[in-house]
Amino acid sequence: MAKAKTVYRCEQCGTDHPKWAGQCTDCGEWNSLVEVNIAPAVTHRAQPKMGGGYAGQASAVTTLNQISISNETRLATGISEFDRVLGGGLVTGSVVLIGGDPGIGKSTILLQTATHMASANSSALYVTGEESLSQVALRAQRLDLPTDHLKVMAETCVERICEILAQIRPAVAILDSIQTLYTETLQSAPGGVSQIRESAALLTRYAKNSGTALFIVGHVTKEGSLAGPRVLEHMVDCVLYFEGQSDSRYRMIRAVKNRFGAVNELGVFGMTDKGLKEVANPSAIFLSRYDEAIPGSIVMISREGTRPLLVEVQALVDDAHGQPRRVALGLEQNRLNMLLAVMHRHGGVQTSGQDVYVNVVGGLKITETGSDLAVLLACASSLRGKALPQQLAVFGEVGLSGEIRPVPNGQERLKEAIKHGFKYIIVPRANAPQKKIAGVQIIAVARLHEALTEAINLCE
**361 and 430 fall within a common domain:** yes
Whether residues 257 and 156 fall in one domain: yes
Strands 275-278 and 354-360: unpaired
- Say which residues have a Cβ less than 8 Å from residue 164's Cβ, sequence separation at least 6: 125, 153, 155
Examine residue 45 and state whether it is found in any structural domain, yes or no: no
Say if residue 174 carries a ligand binding annotation: no
Same domain, 402 and 257: no
Question: What are the tens digits of pLDDT across the range 283-311?
Answer: 877 776 677 889 999 999 998 777 888 99
| pLDDT above 80 for 236 | yes
- 330 in a domain, yes or no? yes
pLDDT over threshold 60, residue 123 = yes
101 annotated ligand binder: yes
Burial class (CB within 10 angstroms; exposed 0-12, middle 13-18, buried 19+) of 426: buried
| pLDDT per position as a tens digit, 63-88 | 988 887 767 788 999 899 999 899 88
Q: For the domain that residue 251 is a member of, what is the CATH number?
A: 3.40.50.300
190 is in an annotated binding site: no
Residues 256 and 334 in one domain: no
**Could you please report the per-residue DSSP string of 186-207?**
--SPTTSHHHHHHHHHHHHHHH
Q: Annotation-wise, does 104 bind a ligand?
A: yes
Summarize pLDDT for 179-224 with one digit per residue, the tens. Answer: 999 998 887 788 888 888 899 999 999 999 999 999 999 988 777 7
Examine the domain organization and report whether 304 and 396 are in the same domain: yes
Q: What is the pLDDT of residues 166-177, one digit of tens each?
A: 999 999 999 998
Annotated binding residue at 100? yes
Q: Is a pLDDT exceeding 50 seen at residue 45?
A: no
Could you tell me if residue 322 is left (phi over 0), alpha (psi between -120 and 50 degrees) or otherwise beta?
left
Entry pTM: 0.74
Q: Tell me how far apart the alpha carbons of residues 355 and 201 are, in angstroms, rounded to a whole number.
A: 50
Instruction: Check whether 18 is labelled as a binding-site residue.
Output: no
Q: Could you tell me which of 304, 322, 321 has the C-alpha nearest to residue 416?
A: 304
For residues 297 and 390, membership in a common domain is answered with: yes
Taking the CA atoms of 128, 133, 138 and 141 in sequence, report the sign of the dihedral they define: positive
Q: Is 88 annotated as a binding residue?
A: no
Q: Say if residue 103 carries a ligand binding annotation.
A: yes
Which of 249, 280, 311 corresponds to the end of one domain? 280
Summarised one tens digit per residue, pLDDT across range 342-360 is 999 999 999 988 999 999 9
Q: Cα dihedral sign for 80, 81, 82, 87?
A: positive
Which CATH number characterizes residue 436's domain? 3.30.230.10
Of 203 and 261, the structure prediction assigns the larger pLDDT to: 203
Bigger pLDDT: 97 vs 51: 97
The answer to whether 118 touches 150, Cβ cutoff 8 Å, is yes
How many residues would you count in the chain? 460
Question: What's the whole-number mean pLDDT along residues 227-240?
Answer: 86
Longest C-alpha distance within the chain, in Å?
Answer: 87
Do residue 269 and residue 343 come from a single domain?
Answer: no
